[in-house]
Amino acid sequence: MIRFVTGNEGKVREAREYLDEPVEQVPYDYTEIQGELEEIALYGARETFAETDGDEPVLVDDTGLFVEALDGFPGAYSSFVEDTLGIERIPDLVADEGNRRAAFRTVMVYYDGETAETFEGNVRGRIVEPRGEGGFGYDPVFEHDGETFAEMDTAAKNAISHRGRALERFADWLAER
């Protein structure tokens, strides 16, 4: 059983689709410190392990969208920017820049109370006007190989996405233990 710490149903759907092991969602709202994705995920994993019932390991996923023309913004602030500006404003921000390149990056931390393992995944793409009904978050404005993530089903997104890559590394590590 994997205890996946997130309030985000989309992340849980993708983890369940990818992993063979059952995934339990732990909707604990850990403190999001200011810092790099690794620091945020590690702090969240430690706090959740200490504050929630159960001594099973926890898995935390921290993800950011990094827009090249904006020097990597919103990055670790992606959640705040989605809640304040909204994703529809992101294409406007790059419209005059002549550079639509962006990347998603996920850092997953698996913490068992003693040691922490980190798994990372990245994907490159471009910022476009919103298209598609699937996915979540910034998926409608992130295009990879001609399709936005919101136009892909969960399996297709997992096959190429930041989270899919991190899950692949995590699953390989689990299998080898």
- Positions that interact with ligand IMP (CB under 6 A): 8, 61-63, 78-79, 82, 135-139, 149, 163
Catalytic one of 29, 62, 71, 96: 62
Q: Tokens 């002549």 — which residue? A: 98
* Cβ 177 to ligand IMP shortest distance, Å: 25
Between 82 and 147, name the residue whose CB sits nearer to ligand IMP: 82
Phi and psi, residue 123, nearest 5°: -145, 140
DSSP string, 16-55: HHH-SS-EEEE-------SS-HHHHHHHHHHHHHHHSS--
Instruction: Show the tokens assigned to 127.
Output: 């910022």
Between residues 84 and 99, which has the closer beta carbon with respect to ligand IMP?
84
CB of 110 to ligand IMP, least distance (A): 16
| β-pairing verdict for 23-26 and 2-5 | parallel
Nearer to ligand IMP, 18 or 149 (CB): 149
**20 included as an active-site residue:** no
* Positions marked active-site: 62
